[in-house]
Amino acid sequence: MARIVYITGGCRSGKSAFAQKQAEKHSGSLLYVATAEVRDAEMADRVDKHQIARGERWQCLEEPVVLSEKIPPAVGDCSAVLIDCLTLWLSNLLEKYGEDDAKILQEAESLIESLCHLDTTIYIVSNEVGSGIVPENYLARRFRDLAGLLNQTFAEAADEAWLVASGLPLKLK
């Protein structure tokens, strides 16, 4: 049975670094699940820096959409999995499913279900996007609302939840 640890915070809050440090406390190999797609040079540079920071213990699964199908067979004997991040995954789902919010939320439920059957610790990173002003355009408001729903769903399913602000982790549950 999996142990799910949900970690949220604002952009550049230190949540990914915190998640990585927690995962690296486990012995053996580790799996990093990258939901970002490299679409420009700046993103390629970010990915390169993250890969160097992770080191050789980490295997990497690059999957922008179909996490519930791709993660279970990739876990193998990894002692921990780090999924980074749900909000980038949500962007990819919005691109794939358009206005079909029900399909997006179904993908989230499918992912949680598939993770619960794994025999490892899973760290899930997501951005907390609802603390600012209400966006002026429909797509941004929709993204914010869906991100909030996804965050609530994953936080509820998690065994442990953390908020990271200014590099400082605060245990929520």
Find all residues with CB under 8 Å of 115, minimum gap 6, and list them.
Answer: 2, 4, 71, 122
* Active-site entry in 17, 36, 38, 50: 50
Q: Where are the alpha helices (DSSP H) in 76-157?
A: 86-97, 101-116, 138-157
Residue among 124, 127, 57, 44 nearest 84 (CA): 124
The C-alpha atoms of residue 29 and residue 59 are separated, in whole angstroms, by 7
For the question of residue 26 being annotated catalytic, the response is no
Of all residues in the chain, what percent are helix, strand and coil, respectively (each to 5)? 45, 25, 30
Which residues form the catalytic set?
50
